[in-house]
Amino acid sequence: MPGSLKFHQSALGKKVIMAASGIVLFGFVLVHMLGNLKLYQGAEKLNTYAEWLREMGAPLLPHNGAIWLMRVGLLVAVLVHVVSAYQVTRLSQRARPLNYKARQTLQATYASRTMRWGGVIILLFVIYHLAHLTWGSVHPAFIPGDVYSNVVAGFRVWWVSAFYVVAQMALGFHLYHGLWSMFQTLGVTAGDDRDWRRKFAVAFALLITLGNLSFPIAVLTGFVS
Amino acid sequence: MRLTLQIWRQKNADDTGGFSSYDVDASPDMSFLEMLDVLNETLTEAGEDPVAFEHDCREGICGSCCLMIDGRAHGPEPGTATCQLHMRKFEDGDTIRIEPWRSAAFPVLKDLVVDRVGLDRIVQAGGFISINTGSAPDANLIPVPRDKAELAMDAAACIGCGACVAQCPNGAAQLFAAAKVSHLALLPQGQPERDQRVLRMVEEMESAFGSCTNFAECEVACPKEISIEFIARMNRDYVSARLRRG
Amino acid sequence: MRLDAKIPAGPIQQKWDRHRFEMKLVNPANKRRFEVIVVGSGLAGGAAAAAMGELGYHVKCFCYQDSARRAHSIAAQGGINASKNYQNDGDSIWRLFYDTVKGGDYRSREANVYRLAQVSSNIIDQCVAQGVPFGREYGGLLDNRSFGGAQVSRTFYARGQTGQQLLLGTYQSLSRQVAAGQVEMYPRTEMLDVVVADGRARGIVTRDMVSGEVRSWSADAVVLATGGYSNVYFLSTNAKGCNATAIWRAHRRGALFANPCFTQIHPTCIPQHGDYQSKLTLMSESLRNDGRIWVPKTAGESRAAADIPEDERDYYLERRYPAFGNLVPRDIASRAAKGMCDEGLGVGHGRRGVYLDFADAISRLGRDAISAKYGNLFEMYERITGEDPYEVPMRIYPAPHYTMGGLWVDYNLMTTIDGLYAAGEANFSDHGANRLGASALMQGLADGYFVLPYTIGDYLARHMGEGPMPTDSAPFQEVEAEVNGRIDRLLSCDGKRTVDSLHRELGQICWEYCGMSRNAEGLEGAIEKIAELREEYWTNVKVLGVNDELNQALEKAGRVADYFELAELMCRDALARRESCGGHFREEYRTEEGEALRNDEEFTYVSAWEDQGPGKEPVMHREPLDFPNVPLTQRSYK
């Protein structure tokens, strides 16, 4: 019977799943950025904060318990986000097997048009970022537990910072279109003021991007050392 | 004015097709389709196969015309179907590229003519109110708030041309489906079937068309300038219908 | 042949009710055994197909467009009449009936018109229930406007897109039946002939417009709802694809054609702007509610409209018809505009246009109020002409728009061929010699939703158990062969002239001699000219390509071939009707003031033409008209 597809089987359902997982990931990057602001309070505050994350939930949870719960949650969110994105992308590619000789872009934003590749860049970046500052496997001077010095030493390498900057720009665009799309996908209509959803998306995308960009810049300019 | 047209020619659905170039003399007061008429008269007189293109009412309401003009559905004039586009919007000496709508759901039948039956199927899936002839109550029995009726009319203005699908980088039919879903969901008469309607129409839509990623290109390409707000409405209806029905 | 309109006995108010009771019914279980073919998916055809599908009949619906939603009903702008009397302004079934009969200049059949007025209310109920977003008051109830000079506000509307919204309502109902398997929809399929055996319609022959396949379809009843024939004039407000082939082929197979000369010329169209013009665009005549029509007082005026002082303008409608002014009925407004242009007073391209000026209305009501009422029409005008009607007066000129004539049908909407029905604009029944504004949509839906499902049921009940005729039987094969023969002939002509060029020439003859005003000499000449041009058509037309492909030139060629024959019949009918009535204005028959002069003594009848075969003059039959309920009066809009 038509209309009997399960929610996750429908493309629209997948998009809702993307929006929902996107909200989780948005919450994460927001908190991540806000937490990292402690960089500006010096090594002790930042490292204590990092330690607190690992001890969170004690004594009910074991050491690293809460953080692993969150990591699992984030991993699941990333997985469904990426898998859904891949699936709807394939659907769309099938829908337009032969493209126009030249199709004009009418009002699609740069952000919307770079969503897919931007997503790939962000995914690659996240893997590098974990290897760099969480596992330390690609960090030449990694000291477990000393987040502050790992960050500062890491960002002093100019091309590492450059990669961070590029990735944060990609994240910014991704967030901008993602946040705006979230309203659209979840059916939050704009009503009379058509622009508020755009404004919201711009504000949060900017907030997170500028916050994150400030870290490598602060290190490179010697503001943080 | 002298124009060069690069037109997609394709003998039938199985043919691979390609562009052919034609020179044509036009007057700025001509409509775009009249310019093509002139071309076809010339071609016919020369014994060449005229260009097949879809058209009927030529007043922007039937939704038959469907040309991709220089990479834009219905050409450069916003809020205007191809048939109401006039040559004064072009410059003497212009080269104009004319392509058919492109979508897996819209196979080319010949030249610039495509098959849009996929849109009919979306409506057949549930884009109606189940009311048998003769069983309607008095028309004024159920008042409809004026703003709701007006909004429903905004959505109902869709002419079913498929420009939204043609322009969408994903080949999605979201705007078309959303216009019909919203039109009926905004009216009290459409409430009893509201959940089932959106579920069925969305499923049918997704079986043939791409998936919306909120490029919002459709909204600009739409000759009736139907707002993507209706897509948000449809999405909301879909999610709540799913929540209610599992 | 004796024409029996089968009008039920009894007082006019009871005829339809009584008839509905007297008609035979088909048992619900038996309905699915019947096959009904509906040709055309507009308001009449789409509604008939949907309503019959709902009842349980097995319906096949054909249309030449790529979707049922594109039928030309979609282009109607203004509205749909109904005798709801929601505005408490004195409307009633009787008044709508009276206005329609009078507006039709007493050349329609009273019983049909009364039924139309009766079911008009049901139509609005039905459409609202389908979700048609009619314009509403702030209280949420339906709004009405006065339209086309009516003294009451009985017109329901959905912005300037009423036809579109009603058609979408019909299309939705049709789609529902398609989904339910009750209706099979065949888009891009053109009916090229009807199959008649033993006096009964047994099916149709179609051409698949993509593959070229010519195919037969058998049915127990056939409905033609294929619209009117204004495209005979080449330039008209009809869609390019609108054609008369279905009704003309039916006529050639024995269906009488009624009142072919009754054509309506709509007064408010955008004038022609060049020789390449492919169609004319209508603007809702609601514009005449606020616009003032004028021409310069001197012939050959070359100043811009704004530079012509007030006392050098002739507001000729207000001058000649002080009571109705700019709101006189369509035929009168059209003829007056033509008269002005014939005197050299016209404006614009070729001096075929008159001004429709909103300057007064804008200064009285303000630009915003005018924009709210007519914004979309003004935009459309500007898009087409490149002129801004807020700044310079619009230019308008009449254009062929609607044809009141059509296949002759009885009270059941059945043609003179048993089992062959005609509905909507394709039949002649309700509008007499002139159709009132907002009545075409009403008639299409009335026929489709509320008349045909009953009357066809009655016919089918009388043919229970007979079953459709197999399509491999001789009658079908013969018609198929004829259809293929015509196609081959057109394709093998290999002449020099395109279909359009010949059609344009035919259109000019019709417009000149059988358009807004006609005279015996012109009509006689036109009949000869048309015959000559038809001769040329069949020897000199150039149709490229083959049949087994999408071939738009071939589609047109077949339609235009039929227009030649129809055009000749129009002229013959116009010649035979030696009076002026409604849209038919004979220059020889007018009052001293130049107005139309009816001749009720001799011409209160429907002329119904019977085809006698190729090369033979058709024979006219008369259906006398009685007006026991609406006394005959001369229309006066002074």
Computed over every residue of chain C, the mean pLDDT equals: 95
Please give the average per-residue pLDDT across C580-599, as a whole number.
93
The DSSP bridge partners found for residue C293 are C356
**Smallest CA–CA separation between B208 and chain A, in Å?**
7
What is the rounded distance in angstroms from the CA atom of residue B85 to the CA atom of residue A19? 39
Give pLDDT tens digits for C391-446: 999 999 999 999 999 999 999 999 999 999 999 999 998 999 999 989 999 999 99
Q: pTM for the whole thing?
A: 0.96
Report whether the peptide linkage leading into residue A59 is cis, meaning its omega lies within 30 degrees of zero.
yes
Task: With a threshold of 0.95, tell me whether the complex ipTM lies above it.
Answer: yes
Give pLDDT tens digits for B179-227: 999 999 999 999 999 999 999 999 999 999 999 999 999 999 999 999 9
Residue type, B126: G
pLDDT category of residue A190 using cuts at 50, 70 and 90 = confident
* DSSP result, C445-499: HIIIIIIHHHHHHHHHHTTTTT-PPPTTSHHHHHHHHHHHHHHHHHHH---SB-H
Q: What is the CATH number of domain A7-98+109-220?
A: 1.20.1300.10
pLDDT at residue A106, rounded to an integer: 95
**Residues from chain B contacting residue C271 (CB–CB below 8 Å):** none
Q: Kindly state whether B131 is in contact with chain C, defined as any CB-CB distance less than 8 angstroms.
A: yes
Backbone angles phi, psi at C508, to 5 degrees: -65, -40
- Using an 8 Å Cβ cutoff, are A144 and A126 in contact? no
What is the rounded distance in angstroms from the CA atom of residue C372 to the CA atom of residue C378? 10
Q: Kindly state whether B243 is in contact with chain C, defined as any CB-CB distance less than 8 angstroms.
A: no
| Range name among A157-166, B189-198, C324-333 with the lowest pLDDT average | C324-333
Query: Under DSSP, is residue B48 helix (H, G, I), strand (E, B) or coil?
Result: coil
pLDDT(C34) > 60? yes
Q: Provide the token pair at A73.
A: 């949650």
What is the rounded distance in angstroms from the CA atom of residue A203 to the CA atom of residue B144? 38
Class of domain C42-81+93-127+159-264+402-461: alpha beta
Give pLDDT tens digits for C106-154: 999 999 999 999 999 999 999 999 999 999 999 999 999 888 778 899 9
What is the rounded distance in angstroms from the CA atom of residue A84 to the CA atom of residue A90? 10
pLDDT(A98) > 90? no
Report the residue of chain C nearest B181, measured CA to CA: C131
- Using an 8 Å Cβ cutoff, are A171 and A164 in contact? no
Interface test with A, best of B211, B218, B242 (most A CBs within 10 A): B211
Give pLDDT tens digits for B18-29: 999 999 999 999
Class of domain C266-400: alpha beta
**Residues from chain B contacting residue A186 (CB–CB below 8 Å):** 235-236, 239
Other Cβ atoms closer than 10 A to A73: 13
pLDDT(C1) > 80? no
Interface test with B, best of A96, A107, A185, A188 (most B CBs within 10 A): A96
Q: Kindly state whether B227 is in contact with chain C, defined as any CB-CB distance less than 8 angstroms.
A: no
What is the rounded distance in angstroms from the CA atom of residue C8 to the CA atom of residue C25? 17
Query: Under DSSP, is residue C301 helix (H, G, I), strand (E, B) or coil?
Result: coil
Helix/strand number for chain B, H first, E second: 8, 7
Helix/strand number for chain C, H first, E second: 18, 19
pLDDT at residue A3, rounded to an integer: 57
List Cα–Cα distances, A73 to A69, A80, A132, A135, in angstroms. Answer: 6, 11, 21, 19
pLDDT at residue A4, rounded to an integer: 62
- Chain A partners (3+ C-beta pairs within 8 A): B
Q: Kindly state whether A90 is in contact with chain B, defined as any CB-CB distance less than 8 angstroms.
A: no
What is the rounded distance in angstroms from the CA atom of residue C583 to the CA atom of residue C205? 34
What stretches of C273-327 show up as alpha helix (H) in DSSP?
A: 316-320
Rg, chain B, Cα only: 20
What is the rounded distance in angstroms from the CA atom of residue C628 to the CA atom of residue C634? 16
pLDDT(A1) > 60? no
What is the rounded distance in angstroms from the CA atom of residue C494 to the CA atom of residue C468? 39
pLDDT(B246) > 70? no
What is the rounded distance in angstroms from the CA atom of residue C229 to the CA atom of residue C563? 8
**Residues from chain C contacting residue B50 (CB–CB below 8 Å):** 544, 552-553
Other Cβ atoms closer than 10 A to C368: 10
C383 is a catalytic site residue:
no
Give pLDDT tens digits for A42-81: 999 999 999 999 999 888 999 999 999 999 999 999 999 9
What is the rounded distance in angstroms from the CA atom of residue B26 to the CA atom of residue C73? 31
Domain boundaries, chain C: 42-81+93-127+159-264+402-461, 266-400, 474-613
- Using an 8 Å Cβ cutoff, are A187 and A150 in contact? no
Report the residue of chain B nearest C142, measured CA to CA: B140
Give pLDDT tens digits for A111-145: 999 999 999 999 999 999 999 999 999 998 999 98
pLDDT category of residue B115 using cuts at 50, 70 and 90 = very high
Q: Provide the token pair at C77.
A: 């702008």
Other Cβ atoms closer than 10 A to C485: 10
Q: Provide the token pair at C453.
A: 């499902």
Option in B72, B212, B242 nearest A7 (CB): B242
Residue with tokens 């020897």: C539
pLDDT category of residue C372 using cuts at 50, 70 and 90 = confident
pLDDT category of residue A93 using cuts at 50, 70 and 90 = very high
Q: What is the 3-state secondary structure (H, E, C) of chain A?
A: CCCCCCHHHCHHHHHHHHHHHHHHHHHHHHHHHHHHHHHHHCHHHHHHHHHHHHHCCCCCCCCCHHHHHHHHHHHHHHHHHHHHHHHHHHHHHHHCCCCCCCCCCCCCCHHHHCHHHHHHHHHHHHHHHHHHHHCCCCCCCCCCCCHHHHHHHHHHCHHHHHHHHHHHHHHHHHHHHHHHHHHHHHCCCCCCCCCHHHHHHHHHHHHHHHHHHHHHHHHHCCCCC
pLDDT(B77) > 70? yes
Give pLDDT tens digits for C496-554: 999 999 999 999 999 999 999 999 999 999 999 999 999 999 999 999 999 999 999 99
Residue with tokens 């390449």: C276
pLDDT(B126) > 70? yes
Share of chain C above pLDDT 90, in %: 91
pLDDT at residue A58, rounded to an integer: 84
Task: Residue A95: name the closest of C67, B213, C178 by CA.
Answer: B213
**Residues from chain C contacting residue B192 (CB–CB below 8 Å):** none
Q: Provide the token pair at B97.
A: 């590229």
Please give the average per-residue pLDDT across C36-63, as a whole number.
98
Query: Under DSSP, is residue C235 helix (H, G, I), strand (E, B) or coil?
Result: coil
Q: Which domains does chain B possess?
A: 2-110 (3.10.20.30), 116-245 (1.10.1060.10)
Option in B29, B109, B124 nearest C273 (CB): B29
pLDDT at residue C445, rounded to an integer: 98
Computed over every residue of chain A, the mean pLDDT equals: 93
Q: Provide the token pair at C399.
A: 């254009």
Q: What is the CATH number of domain C474-613?
A: 1.20.58.100
What are the start-end ranges of the E strands in chain B? 2-9, 18-25, 67-69, 72-73, 95-100, 108-110, 113-114
